Homo-oligomer: A and B are copies of this chain.
Amino acid sequence: MRNIRLTIAYDGTEYHGFQRQPEFHGPTIQGTLEKTWQKLVEEEVSLTTAGRTDTGVHAAGQVVNFHTKARIPIDKIPKAFNSMLPRDIRVLEAQEVEPEFNARFKARWKRYDYLIDNSPIVDVFSRLYTAHEPLPLNYSKMQEAAGYLEGRHNFKAFCAVGGSSKTFERNLYICRVTKEAHKIRITCIGDGFLYNMVRIIAGTLIYVGKERIQPEEIPKIITSQDRTLGGPTAPPQGLTMTYVHYGEDSPLDIYPEFRD
Interface residues of A (CB under 8 A from B): 9-11, 58, 60, 78, 82, 87-92, 121-125, 127, 129
Contacts and interface: CB of A to CB of B under 8 A. Distances in A.
Contact of A127 (B88, B91, B122, B124): B88
B10 A121 contact: no
A93 to B, nearest CB: 9
Contacts of A58: 124-125
A21 to B, nearest CB: 21
B60 A121 contact: no
A90 B121 contact: yes
A121 B89 contact: no
A87 B122 contact: yes
A78 B129 CA distance: 23
A9 B129 contact: no
B82 A121 contact: yes
24 contacts: A9-B123, A9-B124, A9-B125, A10-B124, A11-B124, A11-B125, A11-B127, A58-B124, A58-B125, A60-B125, A78-B121, A82-B121, A87-B122, A87-B124, A87-B127, A88-B124, A88-B127, A89-B124, A90-B121, A90-B122, A90-B124, A91-B121, A92-B121, A125-B129
Nearest to A86: B124
Most buried by B among A78, A82, A125, A129: A125
